[in-house]
Chains A and B, each alone.
Chain A
Amino acid sequence: MIAFIVRRVLQSVFVLLIMSLLVFVGIYAIGNPVDILINPEATQAERAATIVAFGLDKPMWVQYGLFLQSAVAGDLGRSFAYSTPALTLIAQRLPATLELAVVAMLVSILLGVPLGLWAGLRRDGFAGRTIMSLSILGFSLPTFWVGLMLIMLFSVNLGWLPSSGRGQTVEWLGIPLSFLTLDGLKHLVLPALNLSLFNIALVIRLTHSGTQEAMLQDYVKFARAKGLASRRIIGVHVLKNILIPIVTVIALQFGALIAFAIVTESIFAWPGIGKLIIDSIRVLDRPVVVAYLLLTVTLFIVINLIVDVLYSVLDPRVRLSDARG
């Protein structure tokens, strides 16, 4: 297992290196951020001075070398637009995004699993069909549209919930969290629901098919024959068995939730990293874009690793080794 993890980490470093190089070359190819950031009335001399101050006058390979050098020391550079270290900028906004993603994840589990179970058990009933049809909407409706509709319905027409932004926060271990206050929760409901919509549908479908399959298994028949209550059969035996694939998918989806919260964050003016990355791409703020993508890749790598390890723990038949051809 140790050897497996070590090998994985080495591979990850290689992936990160490639990733940073791709972003570096990509942004370099688009153009010079100073062209966008500087006031158009500034003279050529002022423009040149700004380019030198950002180190953009050096050849690309030198710039990349300097980046690697400080990256090894844990410094991913300072943002051109904010003049703040890129990692600090991301760290400042990460709690908001993580909070949103965690709540969205919880919503999709707490709604998705029971609904999927229900639909799986009553697949020919009215409830089952309705749930399954609605889950198709969850897959197919575009997030930005649903978000706007949620705002129109719950904020503008009904006036129940605030339309956008993050609510009141309280500091916990120095991290500002909003789900601990009533105002914060009110602000969280709509964006979290919007972000979780796809995942609710996904969990419903996974639970639905898992339940249907499991109900035909011998152990369920045996438990029935043994006279166990139906609640215990479903709540313990069936659920336990169908949870393994759901856990895997949900864990992987968590990374996606964080990385792709961008749309929900822009619709709901949620001050998270999605908003930051959009703004940074808009002004070719390379240090922030590179840092963000490296962070996202790291996140996916770590989640993947955890899932693989967890899988081997949950299912003793799985062994951790690299596939060999």
Chain B
Amino acid sequence: MSKAIGVFRRWGLAVLVAGGLTAPAWSQDFKVAMSSPPTSMDPHFQNITTNANVIEHMFEPLVMRSPDGKLAPGLAESWSLINNLTWEFKIRRGAKFSDGSLVTAEDVVYSLDRPSNIKNSPASFTQYTKSIVGKKVIDANTVRLTTGAETPLLPDDLVSVIIVSKKATEGLASDDFANGKGMVGSGPYKFVRFLRDDRVELARSEHYNGPNKTPWATTTIRFIANPSTRLAALLAGDVQAIENVPTPDLGRVRNDTNLSLITATSQRMVFMFADWRDKSPFVTDKNGAVLATSPLKDVRVRRALSMAINRDAIRDRVMEGLSETTENLIVPGSPGYVSSMVPPKYDPDAAKKLLAEAGFPNGFGLTVHGPNNRLVNDEKIAQTVAQMFTRIGVDTKVETMPMAVYAPRGAKYEFSVALIAWGGSVDLTSPMRALLACENPAKGMGVVNWAKYCNPKVDELLMKADSMDPLVRSRILREAAGIISKDVALIPLHFQVSAWAVKKGLTYKGRGDERTYAFDFKPM
């Protein structure tokens, strides 16, 4: 006992001395500022990036993603296909929860069942677990999952489902987790404290034996929503790293010799959609009367709108370089990405010609809608696009609104041309199923198809894409991508680029999934 105290004293003193002498006392404590606090600490309460961003420090899913978006081992060290309907997952040997108990196949089965038992979840995780019809424990480290139909994306789905300890969480309500109950995970950190809206305090888990070991003994995640304040906290030295660097301050961060800027292309794809209905509420003649037949149905008009947008100018002027223009709906490397597909060349004259061919030599009137608190510079993008439309004769007004107003209106199909984004998908089937498939509530298709696009050929390809052969899938999805682009089903603008700023001497591997993992910040 006294020896332990002696050691503690010596180390305590050493830390104090080191802290006093060397300017950045980094090797122990790390503080990072995120933009949004989690709504709950229960890993299965709400399917939302901001919650996962925090929870994944302490808990692991079976499968994780590497910074470049590829599948990587999480709690499962490997997985394989037994037959087209059965998957086998091997839990990492010796994997332990932060309380020291071994992770077992029982915990995995329990965790995959848990999402459907969460009461009042505003965004349930069942969408990732519902394809599983059978779960079988083979031995303590092996679990077999059977799906009702061929589900090539099951490992991708399981990236979102956290594994919790059955012993620690059985019978707990979602609210209990915020007080530390059940906060027993197999991740690189153990939970210390959660002060709602303010911070989460973490300590290194001695029981973690996976690939994401943290260099920090303790870590504090601060939540600072205001972008200027977040940057000020970094400049003042209150935190060593921040996520979501505000675009107006990029120049300052780049020029500051004490800071480094890290960027990575995000999977969030920003696009405009144009209404496919015969009559659209905000498509008018030049005097403001709604047109009996919407010109937006004509592919030439949609192509003209797409050609009228100077995506490079948006990237350079509006986004301060933090965007990557695209014609694909998904990032390079994902199934269904076609490298030869590039955005149409910015050409207002050709666009005008196309409009004339379609029977609108003098253009028409239009109102573009967009959110003003959802995407990076969303309001500015909408305004810029509207000016570009006006340049080809389409007199365009802009109306932006908070997401709380925008989303319900979109769901009621109240827009003609609008700006929004699709995020977090690394497979073309995700935007196809939700944004582009013909609406079919029974099959869960076209849930947010606010443009009312419907092409049976695309639907057919989407059905066929459920093939277990990756090569076949890729071929089918590339074909679908070609049709979607040819139809100008959506008008893709760009992928957002996520930006982190860190104090000099630290590195971070930028990621496309908008995660900020404290354990990935490393001293140089």
Contacts and interface: CB of A to CB of B under 8 A. Distances in A.
A156 B236 contact: yes
A306 interface: no
Interface in A262-298: 266-269, 271, 275-276, 281-284
B372 to A, nearest CB: 12
A269 B233 CA distance: 10
Contacts of B373: 282
User: How many interface residues does chain B have, given as a range?
Assistant: 35 or more
A140 interface: no
B124 A164 contact: no
Given A34-B122, A148-B232, A282-B403, A40 B447 contact: yes
User: How many interface residues does chain A have, given as a range?
Assistant: 35 or more
A83 B120 contact: yes
Contacts of B403: 36, 282
Given A45-B441, A50-B124, A93 B196 contact: yes
Contacts of A271: 195-198
A67 to B, nearest CB: 16
Interface in A35-58: 35-47, 49-50, 53-54
Interface in B408-442: 408-411, 422, 430, 433-434, 441
A33 B403 CA distance: 10
Contact of A44 (B40, B232, B447): B447
B232 A38 contact: no
A113 B46 CA distance: 50
B122 A37 contact: yes
B236 A83 contact: no
Contacts of B223: 269
A163 interface: yes
Of A37, A39, A156, A159, most buried by chain B (CB within 10 Å of CB) is A39
A100 to B, nearest CB: 13
Contact of B229 (A34, A49, A269): A269
Nearest to A160: B236
B225 A275 contact: yes
Given A31-B409, A162-B238, A165-B222, A43 B229 contact: no
A281 B46 contact: no
Interface of A: 30-47, 49-50, 53-54, 78, 80-84, 92-93, 148, 151-152, 155-156, 159, 162-166, 169, 266-269, 271, 275-276, 281-284
Sort A-B residue pairs by CB-CB distance and give the 4 closest, nearest first.
A31-B408, A43-B444, A44-B441, A37-B122
Interface of B: 39-40, 45-48, 119-124, 126-127, 174-175, 195-199, 222-226, 228-230, 232-233, 235-238, 373, 402-405, 407-411, 422, 430, 433-434, 441, 444, 447-448
